Amino acid sequence: MDQATLEQLAKKGWQVGTVSDFLDLSPEEATLIEIKLALSRALKERRQQNMTQAELAEKMHSSQPRIAKAENGGASVSIELLLRAILATGASPQEIGRVIGAISCS
């Protein structure tokens, strides 16, 4: 957003900030959310290359709706489940490290 727009909004009483500001997240909490979202996106990309959600769920002894939640960043999905699912698609720990390492948090 450009400076002129920010100034116009401030004159009208609006405050502009980030989601982290609005939710009062610590830098650690914001980073954790970014990690979960990056893992969710990576899971979906990898899974779509060679299997359906149902096939991945069967391989993991889970359910298709659970895989869908994992791919969509569902709040009830743990990082452990995301990691297990990505590994089940054939990803290496190094590939997972690259996904996490590519995150840019402010």
Quote the domain boundaries for residue 42. 18-101
Q: What is the dihedral of CA 9, 14, 19, 24, to 10 degrees?
A: 140
The verdict on residue 6 lying in a domain is no
Q: Distances from the Cα of 12 to the Cαs of 6, 7, 19, in angstroms? A: 10, 9, 20
The verdict on residue 65 lying in a domain is yes
Quick one: pLDDT at residue 34?
A: 92
The verdict on residue 93 lying in a domain is yes
Q: Is 22's pLDDT higher than 90?
A: no
The CATH number covering residue 22 comes to 1.10.260.40
Number of separate domains in the chain: 1
pLDDT in tens, 1-11: 788 988 888 88
Q: Report the alpha-carbon distance of residue 15 to residue 45 in Å, rounded.
A: 36
Quick one: pLDDT at residue 20?
A: 79
Q: Is 106's pLDDT higher than 60?
A: no
Please give the model's pTM, rounded to 2 decimal places.
Answer: 0.80
The verdict on residue 58 lying in a domain is yes
pLDDT in tens, 83-101: 999 999 999 999 999 999 9
